[in-house]
Amino acid sequence: MTELAPYAALARSSRGRRVAEPAPEGRSEFQRDRDRIVHSTAFRRLEYKTQVFVNHEGDLFRTRLTHSIEVAQIARSIARSLGLNEDLVESIALAHDLGHTPFGHSGQAALNECMHEYGGFEHNLQSLRVVDLLEQRYGAFDGLNLCFETREGILKHCSRANARKLGDVGERFLLKHQPSLEAQLTNFADEIAYNNHDVDDGLRSGLITLEDLAAVPVFAEHLDQVQQEFPRLHDRRLIHETVRRMINKFVTDLTCESRRRISECAPADVDAVRSAPPLISFSRDVKHLQQELQYFLRAKLYKHYRVQRMANKARRIVRELFSAFLQEPPLLPPEYQDRAKDDAPRAIADYVAGMTDRYAIKEYRRIFAVDLSPDD
Ligand code: MG
């Protein structure tokens, strides 16, 4: 690993783990976090969880797993160029979506509605809950017992009420402080990854077309460039060549603007970063280009009637599963029944949130099938 900048989060000066453990041998604390995340059950579930397109709609659409890997790739390359800690950004990137419900945003919205009277449901907070509590793999502690810096990076947003209950990782929301540059960076890498892959997946699905996208300045600019350079290129190669240039534009701009802000502020260490204004940022022009792309995706892809139909089904599945379990906790698998004795709504939310898309569909059939065929 190249030498880290003084403002990077250093593994040796980590604020530590909730349960103290001997230092790892042959790898850093943040590498150990990354390794624990990769071996977790929640990480494997990401393969069958989706954001816009449900798993069975096609084999080539992004899943939360491939999305998380793309986020890690983008975040690591920017981290290296800014002298930030690549191991930490990789851990945060691979863990950032662990708390996502099945069926992406519609599943999350439905579960949040179900939990309205019981403290709500927020996927960021759920990701933290997965790594702090729900993974059951180690003898000495619940969860993965990750470092403070990884947990801080996972918790991107949080209400003040929840922040008060969270202790150390909640503090910054009360103090209005920033997280480490690694956490700030991973958040931007997430946006770059999903905006660009939603363009690619949107085109692949046929729900949006190159003609539609020609109205989006950042796409049109790169499409023109590619068509001038390679006049005979078409279909997937044309799309890929355009999307990769867009990603490059966002990555390069984010790197340059952040480098400029960091050198202007010159934070002495990660604590100075925490009390400084946000230092990872796009330039104003590129921020605007990115917003135009997001408006387009919202209007043309996320609100497309076929996406909405799938989202509507997804919400129904989540809502109906939740209320069936709430009315009759004995329908829950035994390990969740035990937890439901203390707090039934939260135990049910944990169970439903942990489901993959296809598991949720299967469970829905098992609970609501009217043919009374034996449970499989
Ligand atoms: Mg994400």
**Cα(96) to centroid of ligand 1, in Å?**
6
Angle, alpha carbons 69-95-87 (nearest 5°): 70
Amino acid at 248: N
**pLDDT tens digits for the chain (376 residues)?**
568 999 999 999 899 999 999 999 999 999 999 999 999 999 999 999 987 776 666 777 889 999 999 999 999 999 999 999 999 999 999 999 999 999 999 999 999 999 999 999 999 999 999 999 999 999 999 999 999 999 999 999 888 989 999 999 999 999 999 999 999 999 999 999 999 999 999 999 999 999 999 999 999 999 999 999 999 998 899 999 999 999 999 999 999 999 999 999 999 999 999 999 999 999 999 999 999 999 999 999 999 999 999 999 999 999 999 999 999 999 999 989 999 999 999 999 999 999 999 999 999 999 998 766 666 5
From ligand 1's centre to the CA of 211, what distance in Å?
A: 27
Asked if residues 293 and 242 have their Cβ atoms less than 8 Å apart, the reply is: no
The CA 259 to ligand 1 mean position distance, Å, reads 24
pLDDT on residue 54: 65
Q: Give the tens place of pLDDT for each residue, 85-105.
A: 999 999 999 999 999 999 999
pLDDT of residue 365: 94
Give ion ligand 1 contacts, CB < 5 A.
97, 190
How many angstroms is it from 251 CA to the middle of ligand 1? 16
Q: For residues 157 and 225, what is the distance between their CA atoms, to the nearest angstrom?
A: 38
Q: Say how many Å lie between the CA of residue 107 and the centre of ligand 1.
A: 15
Q: Give the C-alpha separation, 106 to 58, whole Å.
A: 19
Asked if residue 354 belongs to a domain, the reply is: no
DSSP code string of 97-136: TTTPPTTHHHHHHHHHHHTGGGT---HHHHHHHIIIII--
d(CA 367, ligand 1 centre) in Å: 30
Torsion of CA 322, 323, 324, 329, to 10 degrees: 80
- The three-class DSSP label of residue 65 is helix
pLDDT at position 3, please?
Answer: 84
Which structure tokens are listed for 240?
């890929």
Whether 40 is in a domain gets the answer yes
Contacts of 137 (CB under 8 A, 6+ apart): 39, 40, 41, 144
Is 193 exposed, middle or buried (CB count within 10 Å of its CB: 0-12, 13-18, 19+)?
buried
pLDDT for 62 equals: 86
pLDDT (0 to 100) of residue 148: 98
Ligand 1 centre from 193 Cα, in Å?
8
| CATH code (residue 99) | 1.10.3210.10
Whether 102 and 318 have beta carbons less than 8 Å apart is answered as yes
Domain for residue 349, yes or no?
A: no
What pLDDT, on a 0 to 100 scale, did the predictor assign at position 52?
77
Domain that holds residue 293: 28-308
Q: Please check whether residue 363 lies inside any domain of the structure.
A: no
What is the predicted pLDDT for the residue at 375?
Answer: 60
Calpha distance 318→315 (Å, rounded): 5
Burial 128-166 (b: 16+ CB within 10 A, else e): bbbbbebbeeeeebebbbbbbbbbbbbbbebeeebbeeb
**Is 207 among the domain residues?**
yes
Angle of helix 64-82 versus helix 181-205 axis, rounded to 10:
140
- In three-state secondary structure terms, 58 is coil
**Which of 203, 238, 233, 241 has its CA nearest to residue 58?**
203
CA of 97 to the centre of ligand 1 (A): 6
CA of 292 to the centre of ligand 1 (A): 19
In a domain? residue 339: no
Distance 49 CA to ligand 1 centre (A): 12
The total domain count for the chain is 1
Distance CA 41, CA 49 (A): 13
pTM: 0.95
What pLDDT, on a 0 to 100 scale, did the predictor assign at position 372? 63
Q: Is position 51 within any domain?
A: yes
Rounded CA-CA distance 185/71 in Å is 10
> For residue 27, how far is its CA from the centre of ligand 1 (angstroms)?
26
Cα(230) to centroid(ligand 1), Å: 33
The single residue listed with the structure tokens 């300045």 is 217
345 Cα–ligand 1 center, Å = 26
When computed from its CA atoms, the radius of gyration of the chain, rounded to whole angstroms, is: 22
Q: Compute the CA torsion angle 156, 276, 255, 123 (nearest 10 deg).
A: 0
* Helix 181-205 and helix 86-95, axial crossing angle in degrees, nearest 10: 50
In a domain, 337, yes or no: no
Cα-based distances in Å from 213 to 54, 206, 296? 23, 12, 8
